[in-house]
A and B are shown apart, each in its own frame.
Chain A
Amino acid sequence: MSVHPGRFVVVKGERLLGAFDSMEQALAAGAAAFGLQSFLVRRLGEKQAEVNIPALTLGLLRADPQHPAGRSGS
């Protein structure tokens, strides 16, 4: 990791395919080597960003707009 900070690595199983300057290059290299099989792409030295999708986590996509929540005290 200290050799390629900030670069995108492609890993399949225990095989490191390489380190690339951009996500696009990493995806192209992964597809060239593995086709539509799954492979891991990670940016070295970058903490995994927190995923926050309230519409999913709070179930808001299923909310019924015909029955809005009442105001406090109503």
Chain B
Amino acid sequence: MPILNIQLAAQDPSGNPIPSLVALQQRGPVVQVSVSVEQNIAQQLLAQGVPLPAPERGLALIDTGATSTCVDDAAAARLNLPAIDVVTIASASHASTQQNVHPIQIEVVGLPITISAPRAIAAPLAAQGLVVLIGRDVLQHCTFFYNGPAGSFSLSV
């Protein structure tokens, strides 16, 4: 079972190091990931000779408060992901909207950790510097340990 251990490191605008526990509190448990077409779809496309879009790289925030995983809507468009359903989600800034549901695959950069999220909801995450929000639909298959005092967290799949 691959285990991801991360201790956040950050600097303030003056270049001074920020303690890990402060960095984790401010940024949250984020990890570099690569997002691509879900593997069952990718295998079919490759069998048909269809070229796969290049994966999208960025930060994923592990969000234990979210029932569902989300993918940035612009990244989903660039990946040309098929929509397999529509769900309604509320927003603080505007009325409830219907958002597409996409099947995606998430790979942790630099580690042999691959996560399938067959029902990721498209949402505007890029403005937050995120490409994915990892919700409890994915976390139900993981062990997640948040060590606030150490400014670190671990995730195993």
Contacts and interface: CB of A to CB of B under 8 A. Distances in A.
A54 B65 contact: yes
Contacts of B3: none
Given A35-B50, A49-B67, A56-B70, A62 B82 contact: no
B142 interface: no
Interface residues of B, number: 43
B63 interface: yes
Contacts of A34: 82
B128 A51 contact: no
Interface of B: 25-26, 37-38, 40-41, 43-45, 47-48, 50, 61, 63, 65-68, 70, 80-85, 87-93, 100, 103, 118, 121, 123, 125, 127-128, 130, 133, 135
Contacts of A16: none
Contacts, number: 103
Nearest to A52: B67
B82 A31 contact: yes
A27 B128 contact: no
Interface of A: 23-25, 27-28, 30-32, 34-42, 48-59, 61-62, 65
A27 B38 contact: yes
B94 to A, nearest CB: 11
Contacts of A54: 65-66
Given A36-B80, A39-B82, A41-B84, 18 more contacts: A24-B40, A27-B41, A27-B84, A27-B118, A28-B43, A30-B84, A31-B40, A31-B44, A36-B81, A40-B85, A49-B68, A53-B67, A53-B70, A55-B63, A56-B70, A57-B91, A61-B125, A61-B128
